[in-house]
A = this chain, B = another copy of it.
């Protein structure tokens, strides 16, 4: 197969014509065409290498040969649906069960994190016989209609907030209502959920579920404060609801120290439903819901079949099993711990040199850098973040309500050298930006004294750069 059948401009023209424009491209002013990938590296049509700091989906590394081999072997044998008995689905469920607290022992396999969250919502509503859901501000739980309803990040731009959806403050100790100087932000933020439940009760409504990512990602790579989840679970359960932990972004050892993000909240906390997705199949459409016997039984009680055509098929499960094998045999959790710590350390050192870095946070290979134009006021440095996003063939991405958080969630084989490379790159860009700022100030003085058409082209370019870096 020829790798590059179309010229980049042809690909782009066909893309514009044939694919819905709501499906956006990275770097839309100069999109990147990637032809092949290996581990944490992407290669474009000219063979140029990009360091991938964002593909959490390709968890054990792009195009890992063990995954390809497992997929091809099973594709050659059998790929039926789950109405037939098969070993792969039960062996895979058993392996997943071993990573989870004992009570999360019933599994439903689906094709995407969105399908998993939709099913989690059904399970919660059927078990509690209630409808209302509490979600965190800025949360995103998927692209399906039911999930847009419980995703403030989406519904605020679309149909708005439904009467059965209630938004709790994002427990963000950098920008939120309780910050790092609060004596017990975990309790304080949990109390906001308690207050919300009381407000819901005053409206004569009842809570079905509290739905939250274990580490809010679109919200800005947020680490929930200690004690938060256990307290919220206590309040939600007293109100008759269940706690749904969305692990679509954070599961499968990304944090290094724990296999699941929710485990960071301590051993006394266990969700009632866990959803998983992105990294699960290393790019293959595979996702899952884990829950308790009680919730599963309530779902079965109405005797209505749940059938998912592709979910849990022998190929998907063979791939899922192979991913778990690679995580173990290559000690990718150990790697996430070591490389993540080194990367965080380097970024924290960088913070001492660059005023624009307001905070470095995260765990393992799930890190975020808050960029601010003013450390005191914590003013989001949105434009600098956007500029950093695709410089020097280092793919990072931005998130958070102001798109001011640079986020790292690379394939788990990310190395010490990769960490050093990306930090050097950020350092260089921020240094140029700082210099450009002072040069820019001087140039703007000149600019004010002359008419526009006397400014040389090179100066125009420089002014454009200044705009990118300093005018936030």
Contact = CB atoms under 8 A, between A and B. Distances in A.
A63 to B, nearest CB: 6
A4 B158 contact: no
Interface in A24-62: 24-26, 31-37, 42, 55, 57-58, 62
Please tell me how many copies of the chain the complex holds. Answer: 2
B5 A87 contact: yes
A157 B114 contact: no
A405 to B, nearest CB: 18
A75 B323 CA distance: 14
A306 B83 contact: no
A151 to B, nearest CB: 11
Nearest to A7: B87
A36 B80 CA distance: 9
Contact of A87 (B11, B31, B122, B145): B11
Interface in A290-320: 291, 296-297, 299-300, 302-310, 312-313, 315-316
A75 B90 contact: no
Contact of A18 (B4, B6, B25, B105): B105
Given A78-B63, A158-B304, A25 B316 contact: no
Contacts of A145: 118, 121-122, 144-146
Contact of A310 (B91, B285, B296): B285
A111 B108 contact: no
Interface in A189-234: none
Contacts of A97: 18
Interface string A110-129: 01111100110110000000
Contact of A24 (B17, B65, B83, B309): B83
Contacts of A62: 78-80
A278 interface: yes
Interface in A92-117: 93-94, 97, 105-109, 111-115
A415 interface: no
Interface of A: 1, 3-6, 8, 11-12, 14-15, 17-26, 31-37, 42, 55, 57-58, 62-63, 65, 67-68, 71-87, 89-91, 93-94, 97, 105-109, 111-115, 118-119, 121-122, 143-146, 154, 157-158, 277-278, 283-286, 291, 296-297, 299-300, 302-310, 312-313, 315-316
B310 A11 contact: no
Given A19-B106, A308-B112, A3 B77 contact: yes
Contacts of A285: 111, 284-286, 310, 316
Given A71-B75, A285-B316, A20 B300 contact: yes
